[in-house]
Amino acid sequence: MSTAITFSEYGPADVLRLTEVTPPDPGPGQVRIKVEAASVNPLDIKIRSGLMAKVAPAHFPVVPGLDAAGVVDAVGEGADAAVGDAVLGATVGGSYSEYALLERPVAKPEALSWEVAASLVTVGRTSHRVLGQLGVEAGSTLLVHGAAGSVGFVAVQLAVARGITVVGTVGEKDIERVTALGATAVRYGDGWADRVRAAAPQGVDFVLDASGAGVLADSVALTGDTAKVITIADMSAQQHGVRFSAGTTEQGEDALPELVRLAAGGRLVVPVWRTYPLAEAAQAQADLEAHRNQGKAVLLP
Ligand SMILES: NC(=O)c1ccc[n+]([C@@H]2O[C@H](COP(=O)([O-])OP(=O)(O)OC[C@H]3O[C@@H](n4cnc5c(N)ncnc54)[C@H](OP(=O)(O)O)[C@@H]3O)[C@@H](O)[C@H]2O)c1
């Protein structure tokens, strides 16, 4: 037996319980890892609270979590890893656990910490995917809503590295962090669109909404084209004629190995804010819900 965090009803963070479970067996193409780090994503909170129940009803008990890093201890048929390998990847059946199943495991270089490795999976793939879907080009101007958040922070760096001028909306506490990435940071909240216009007199070509903060109508007005705006967080996207981008995996080549190389080489910073023991998963989620975080919360089983 091993331990995992589970929940058996929707509700606040305290429905999360430390439970005895049987470690899962890897299926074809999967590996089982002894989890060293599992990151907490906002989607974990949306699922636990019941917000996603209509779209994807839960089969209780649920082990939360989307991504993890650890050491392979069992290998499914055809999986591309060996027992003892240090890997990271997207989990199947949850990551808040001593043992988890990974699909498409990617090798973890020594230089990458467990915390960063676990944090990079969903955040990195999502950032890379949405920039591709927007079709951003060197020389254009991109507005990122929620630029100091985990996805926003990585997307800003990927865009700056591609020669894109980036304006990011942030809270007061995050202005310096985002400016240091080579972006122009403006405060979110009332009047944000005027501040963006002042910061980008040349105009805004593309918008990535990683905030879900009700910014789509004004974002469409800024670009003048619904096709130039994408959200990963605003469920009202359709009402605005804007694309909602979902799913952490991409068609075609997986960007994660390259993102791992960039992060291991110090050319991509993944903002890890705090680590927690597995048993404190409820506190980690509560801290995210209270907006106390500046980047990722990571569980260390
Ligand atoms: N569709 C997908 O594939 C996908 C994948 C990953 C994530 N997501 C979603 O994307 C969102 C961001 O995820 P994350 O991991 O980056 O979360 P996160 O680390 O919690 O970041 C959210 C950021 O949004 C900022 N924010 C709050 N109110 C804002 C406003 N009015 N304007 C602009 N920014 C504001 C927060 O700032 P403060 O700290 O000041 O509150 C924080 O920096 C979540 O809703 C998540 O569920 C979707």
Residue 42: what pLDDT? 97
Q: What percent of the chain has pLDDT over 90?
A: 96
pLDDT, tens only, 179-195: 999 999 999 999 999 99
Residue 252: what pLDDT? 67
| Cis amide prior to 109 (ω within 30 degrees) | no
Reported confidence tier of residue 247, pLDDT bands at 50, 70, 90: confident
**Domain ranges across the chain:** 2-122+252-300, 125-244
* Tokens representing residue 193 in the block: 């669109």
Does domain 2-122+252-300 fall into CATH 3.90.180.10?
yes
The Å distance, Cα 153 to ligand 1 centre, comes to 10
Q: What percent of the chain has pLDDT over 70?
A: 98
Q: Which atom of ligand 1 is nearest to the CA of 46?
A: 47
For domain 125-244, give the fold.
Answer: Rossmann fold (3.40.50)
> Is residue 58 pLDDT above 90, yes or no?
yes
Please provide the average confidence, as pLDDT, over all residues in the chain. Answer: 96
Quick check: CB of 127 below 6 Å from ligand 1?
Answer: no
Contacts of 48 (CB under 8 A, 6+ apart): 7, 10, 11, 13, 15, 16, 62, 64, 285
Atom 3 (ligand 1) nearest CA:
246
The Å distance, Cα 211 to ligand 1 centre, comes to 4
How large is the average pLDDT for residues 119-143? 97
Residue 249: what pLDDT? 56
Residue 253: what pLDDT? 80
How large is the average pLDDT for residues 225-250? 92
Q: Which atom of ligand 1 is nearest to the CA of 148?
A: 43
Reported confidence tier of residue 250, pLDDT bands at 50, 70, 90: low
| Nearest by Cα to 296 from 144, 121, 179, 49 | 121
How large is the average pLDDT for residues 218-236? 98
Q: For residue 218, count other CB atoms closer than 10 A to its CB.
A: 15
How large is the average pLDDT for residues 142-157? 98
